[in-house]
Structure 1
């Protein structure tokens, strides 16, 4: 060993084994020192302790789960782990749960079989926990209805012979669903009273779409001649939650001839909002 005056199989260095350590050999090249650690369990156990939920026996060195004896705690430790003994826990399985809490029948969610051809990963709904800890499904679908009916009188105005919007009616709607956009279906009805002298003709329409034409082929005046027409269409595919819209119904007239006039327009505007 360097600087220890080793020679002839002898060294002047002194090596002493400390606690839990053994030293062997003489320090010569043929018999070098061998240092070994010999730490037994009794030396290690004082370094260990049990915390919350952990039991530690310093005498045997066994570490396990510390099960609280407080009322209502029915957790039991067995050779195969922790479980709730059958009948020991208060488990309600009347709705949404199965099992009795035992090792062989743990409590689990009661689920059904997906009966649809689509993929549940893509089309399945969600269940969430609300602020009170109650399970909630997706928001319920809604169908809402709005309508307006209005009649306006006119002082025997001449029916134009070119397509002209003579008056406009409106219905304001709001999507009351706070979660989903709504598809809006609109039904509109128009009824116009014409006064047609002999040989006169007149037409009315919704927007620029002519819906009704009447001509007097008789020899006397036709007073308040009218027919009600209806049109149903999709107004908007996705009205955002809480958003509003103004549905308009322009009433147009054309093909006025022979002194044709009108004195009344009655309209119905109905809107169905579907959010699913």
Structure 2
């Protein structure tokens, strides 16, 4: 009980210190001005910069980052106090090694989150906001290449920064390594990709750890890397990364 009271007192104290308000931007070129909704606070006396926008499913996720010598608990308390003052539902899971604080704005349907990781004498902090969390449950963008038959998509994320775009798709399927390699080589060739000199074939590993890494490039500058690895006798894991300098959708069949 004393621990709970002490924690609540600490949160209230931080809330009084900050007044529950944003730190005002002091420079006209502050890259975070207008980046977040108004209920994402600015941690005091740090240089916070945008990390771009990522799409999880079809849910837009904006993220920024900064580092500080403050402990994760102090940082987490700051954000938790701010959001509790706004009347949001707040969940905190923080230790001396890092953790996360999340808040739900039920009125607007936003989900705010701060992830922290202690590294040496510094804490790396990654604030983020999802303005359409339910969209994460909907089907995301199509993979950049036609998948092997009976593939199960585990993750499918898209990140966009300026004109750069990266898509990462992780799948599993019941095919063999050789069948997968033949399939993806044929599909990439059909899409106009050519094999890069950076392709690596790690044939010296034991069969249980054998992996293939295929790197293919397109004349428009896009690159696809496909890593194949055998999980067990029945499953092959396929990790696909598609990087391009244009905000285009996947080039696979729809």
TM-score by length of structure 1 reads 0.19
Q: Name which one, 1 or 2, has greater alpha-carbon Rg.
A: 1
Q: Which has the higher strand share?
A: 1
